[in-house]
Every structure is written in C-alpha cells, then in structure tokens.
A and B are shown apart, each in its own frame.
Chain A
Amino acid sequence: MQIVSKLRERRYQVILGAIIVAVIILAVKPEVLLEGIQRSSLYAVIALPMALILGIVGIINLAHGDFMMLGSYLAYWFAVKSGLDPLLAMIPAMLAFFLIGILTFYALIKPVLGSPELNQLLLTFGLGLVLEEAANLSFTSAPLKLSVPYVSASLTIGDLTFGTFEFVYVLAAILVFYIISLFLKNTRIGRAARAVGQNPKGAKLVGIDVNKTYLIIFSLSIAIIGTIGVIFAMRHSVFPIMGAPYTMKSFCLIAMAGIGNITGILWYSALLGVSEGIITAIPGAAGWADLVFFALIVGTILIRSYQQRVK
C-alpha cells in the first residue's frame, strides 16, 4: 500500500511537471513543442523494435540503426529505379527485411545466444561496422536525397509554421506501439514471446519453441526498422553512418525506460525530443543539442544508483 501511493505521487508529479513545461514552451516558442513531438515520435518508432529484441531475445543489436540505413538506401534505389513514390517501397521493404532478419538470425545471432554478453555486443558491433562499410563501398559516403514534393509541405497557423510530413512519424510511432502491444498481449506468438522474454528456461519447459520465438521476434524487429528506414529516407539525407546516432539514442531510451517497459519508451522519447528542441531553440546553443541524450542517460544512471543505495 505504501509503495503504491508513493508511485502515484511521483507519477503525478512528473505529469504535472511535463504539463507546466509544455505550457511554457507553447507560450514562448510553440514550434519547439510540435517539432519536439515529431522528433520524439521518430526516436520512439526507432527505439521500439530495438526494445523488442532486447526484451525478448535479450540481445542488444548495435547494428539496429544500420538496418534502418539499409532500408533508406532501398527506398532511394526503389524510387530512382522505378520513378514511383518511395512510400510504396514500404511493402517490399517489409518483406525484404523480414527475410534479411531471418538470414541474420541464423547466420550470426543464433550462434552467440549462449555466449557471454560481451561477445554478443562485439558481434552486433562488427555487423554494424560491416553494413556501414559495405554501404560506403557500394554507394560512397556522399549523402543522397530523395526529392518528393510533399515531404517539405508545411502548414502555417498564425505565427506558427511547422512541417506536416513529420506527423507521419507520430502516426508511425502510435501504430508501431499499438501493433507491438496488441501482438504481445493478444496473439499466441506474442504471449509466448513475453514468456520467453521473462524466463526462457521456463518457457521451454512449458513447450514453447524458444528458438522459433527468437527468430520471429528478431525478424519482425528488422522488418519494422527497415520499413522505418524507407519513411526516414523520404525526409532525410541518406548516407552510410546515418543510423549510428539513432542506435545510441534508442539504447539510451530503452535504458532509461527499463527493459520490457515500452510505454516508458514513449515518455522518455518525448523527454529527449522536446529537450533537444529546447536546446536547439536557444540561440548559440544549437550545437549542444547532440549532447542531450548523453546527459539524460548519465543522469538516469546517477539517479538510479543513488536510489538503490538510499533504499
């Protein structure tokens, strides 16, 4: 009882604080809030599939952002070769990356599932490196940009001007979040996955095919992130190391939210996205925005370890 009321208190405190901050931003520079939410959604939608792999398969995919990069290159190549809207590349991307996920799982991930965590980290790190360099060799490091007319569309309401395409990220974040939540709660495979994530040995005893579960979850995650790469390519430049910062930020979000807490990822994405927006809006300080995630994760670690000791 004591614990429950404490939680409630802190949660209300945090929500109150968030509302106050939002009001302040709206009063001073409203675009910051809007762009912040758009950016947050982008971070969230990238982090969610990584969280899925980490929570259920138990492995950090340091090549996560690099799979997104591949999806972006796929979109670019698709649009240029076919002349069609790159958005249509989403469907082949989903299939292609699901297959890529299966291949990657069997070739690289499955063999190290029993190895120490350090080996797994090194392996996915090496994979990311290979993907980046392969892209570098194949496409050079020159940034590529798709020109799709409607992505630079913007809306002006009074003093406020903001991009409209970026709301696709918001839509994507909400969609991916709900799809994952429903999948985990309402499907047989999803529930099996949750069981495996919590207790692989126990799940095996109950008859769940743990390896098949790992395979499906991993491939699903790669399929999602590859598809997100398609959307990303429509608005951003594509170059070999574009994915790396997102890998780092995604992991920081997952670390802050706690493994298994996908709702937390949404909240922390909002924190990160809006904070970066605030810093960027301060004149002269825009260059420091890239440090925000680092400050947040170090701060989180400090607060958590302090809490542990005080308890």
Chain B
Amino acid sequence: MKNWKIFVIAALFLAAASLPFYTGTYLLHTIYIIMMFMALAISWDMLLRAGQLSFGIAGLFGIGGYAAVMLQVFTNINPLICILFGAIMAGLISLLIGLATLRLRGMYFAIITLSMAEIFRVIIRNLPDTWTGGAMGIVLNNAIFNGDVKQTYWLVFSILLITIVLSEVFNKSRIYFAITSIRNDEIVAMSSGIDIFKWLVVIFVITSTLQGLVGAAYTEIYGSVNPDANFSAHYSLLPLAMALLGGMRSTWGPVIGAIVLGLAGEYLKLLMPYGYLIIYGLIIILVILFLPDGIMGLIKKLTQKK
C-alpha cells in the first residue's frame, strides 16, 4: 500500500521536474504562476491548521517582494540572494507582528491580518521615494535568469517543493500534535504543557517566510514592484479560495484547489476580463455553505461510503 503511494509521488515529481523539457513557454509560464499560488495556498493552510485565519498573505507577499527588489537595487547581488533576503525580511516583520498580537487570537488576529496589506502599502507609499520608489515603485534592470522560462520554472518549483515538504512535516511530526491540540481546544493544549503563544508565533513566522519567499521570487521574475500591484488583495484571496475549495487542513487539498482554480481562472479571465473576482467570492461562500471540507472532503466521503 505505502509503496504504491511513494511510486505515484515520485512519478509526479519527475514529471513536474522535467516539464520544461517538453512544454511550451506559454504553458510553462501559466504553470509556474499556478505553482506560486499553490505555495501561497499551502502556506496559508499551514497556519489554519493551528486554528488561526490569516487574511494577510498579500502583506507578507509584498514585503518579500519589496525587500528583494530594494536589496537588488542597492547592492546588485545575485538575485537568488535577494529572494532569500526578501523571505527573511517577511519572516522578521511577521515575528514582530506575531509577538505583538498573537496573545489575542481567533477573530482579533484575523482582523489584524486583514489590515496588514493595507498598512504595509500605506507605509511604503509614505516612505521617501528614494528608498522605496513611492507610488510608482521600482523597476529592475533585468528579470532573474534574464527571463529564461526554464530556470524560472525550476526556481518556482523548488519553492513549491520546500513548501510541500514543510507542510508534510507539519502533518507528520510532533508539530501536528501541537497545532491540532491548539486548534481543537486551547485549554486542553495548555493543560498538556503546550506553550500556545510560542508555537503560534513560530508557525506564523514560518508560513510568513514562505509567503515572503514567493513574493520575492515573483518580483525578481517580473523585475518590478509597486505598492498597488504587490500588495493586491488578489494574493490574499486566491490562495484562500484555492485552499478552501481543495480542502483545508491538508497538503493536497490546496494543491488540488490551486490546480482547479488556477486552470479555471485562466479560462475565466478569457470570459470575464473584469470582475472575475466575484467568482472567487461566490466560491468561498458556496464552499463554506455546502462543501466545508472541500474537494478532498468530498473524495473522502465518497471513498468511505464504499
């Protein structure tokens, strides 16, 4: 039984890794965009497993992007290092926010994250233009890898891999026990010796770092940042809808959701160039009302009935 699963995963991995060798540029580009959102969706879900809802993915995404580009502009080091720097800065900022706010959780934390992207956007717009480029943002001389799609794909793929691995670690190690206890019953978690605050801060920082990593890669790939684009609510919404649709609290749920919504999104954009966001809103509502466990939940129910 176990061998079968490992074989499938290995096959998928090989297929995904070798994709650039037999896929056209446009399709490859679409796929790695979906992969970026997949990574965001998985990281969002990782925090959700600890019982905390974050509406602020865009905030960390944008911070990662800005930090990477700013380092790039001021020092011109290897873009990969800038991406790492972006991730670390997102992690640091999330550490500060987490330390300050995670003593009150649940809806308080959710609303704070809701404001995060907006707050960062305002701060960056107000900082001196020489630092952050103000409202117009910053444009880089060159995209990473000179725009080579294959290498870009492998970069994004690596980031996705890291995210998936971490997500599985969250599901299989003692972290699983901690976050599930915290999510199910904080009082029991406390009574079992779990330092809830410390765990939540750590998990928030880890997931935020991942989101900053994706954001940093994104800006290096597109070669620019600006306050409105990189802090767009889009980056909070889509991953959320993907994880919700695919099935919360698992690695493969967000993966499935990302594939379904990513592909559907491409199609939708052709049909409804404007306002297709409404579809995501409807998806969120419909999933919560009728399919709260997402596609994964549906599959589980169907396979159990047998």
Contact = CB atoms under 8 A, between A and B. Distances in A.
Interface string B70-91: 0000000000000000000000
Contact of B103 (A60, A129, A301): A301
B180 to A, nearest CB: 14
Interface in A108-125: 108, 111-112, 115, 117-119, 121-123, 125
B40 interface: no
B303 to A, nearest CB: 24
Contact of B275 (A108, A121, A136): A136
B161 interface: no
B275 A133 contact: yes
Given A129-B280, A248-B111, A301-B101, A115 B119 contact: no
B30 interface: no
Nearest to A308: B103
Interface in B269-300: 274-275, 277-278, 280-285, 288-289, 292
A288 interface: yes
B284 A298 contact: no
B125 to A, nearest CB: 7
B284 A122 contact: yes
Contacts of B283: 126
Using C-beta atoms within 8 Å of the partner chain, give the interface range for chain A: 35 or more
B106 interface: yes
B278 A134 contact: yes
A62 B281 CA distance: 13
A245 B107 contact: no
Interface in A235-269: 245, 248, 251-252, 255
Nearest to A304: B104
B111 A126 contact: no
Contacts of A293: 115
Interface stretch (B48-56, B170-178, B198-206, B254-262): B48-56
Interface in A270-311: 287-288, 290-291, 293-294, 297-298, 301-302, 304-305, 308
Tell which of B108, B111, B112, B237 has the most Cβ of chain A within 10 Å. B111
B242 to A, nearest CB: 13
Contact of A126 (B114, B122, B126, B285): B285
Contacts of B292: 115, 119
B250 to A, nearest CB: 15
Contacts of B282: 126, 130
B110 interface: yes
A178 B52 CA distance: 36
Nearest to B97: A298
B1 interface: no
B123 interface: yes
Contacts of A291: 119, 122-123
Using C-beta atoms within 8 Å of the partner chain, give the interface range for chain B: 35 or more
Contacts of B281: 126-130, 132-133
B232 to A, nearest CB: 12
B274 A305 contact: no
B244 interface: yes
Contacts of B274: 136-137
Interface string A151-187: 0000000000000000000000000000000000000
Nearest to B197: A305
A255 B108 contact: yes
A37 B159 CA distance: 50
Contacts of B104: 301, 304-305
A111 B287 CA distance: 12
Interface in A62-79: 62
A25 B244 CA distance: 49
A294 B285 contact: no
B275 to A, nearest CB: 4
A35 B285 CA distance: 39
Contacts of B115: 248, 252, 293-294, 297
B100 A112 contact: no
A62 B53 CA distance: 13
A245 B118 contact: yes
Nearest to B109: A301
A21 to B, nearest CB: 24
A251 B107 CA distance: 10
A301 B122 contact: no
Contacts of A133: 275, 277-278, 281
A298 B101 contact: yes
Given A127-B285, A130-B282, A291-B119, 15 more contacts: A60-B107, A62-B114, A112-B288, A117-B106, A118-B110, A126-B283, A126-B288, A129-B277, A130-B281, A137-B278, A248-B118, A255-B108, A298-B101, A298-B112, A301-B112
Interface of A: 60, 62, 108, 111-112, 115, 117-119, 121-123, 125-130, 132-134, 136-137, 245, 248, 251-252, 255, 287-288, 290-291, 293-294, 297-298, 301-302, 304-305, 308
Q: Which 7 residue pairs are nearest across A and B when measured between Cβ atoms?
A: A126-B284, A129-B281, A133-B278, A305-B103, A130-B281, A137-B275, A126-B285
24 contacts: A60-B111, A108-B289, A111-B289, A118-B51, A121-B110, A125-B55, A125-B284, A126-B284, A129-B237, A129-B278, A130-B278, A133-B278, A134-B278, A136-B274, A245-B118, A248-B115, A252-B111, A255-B111, A287-B122, A291-B119, A298-B100, A301-B112, A302-B100, A308-B103
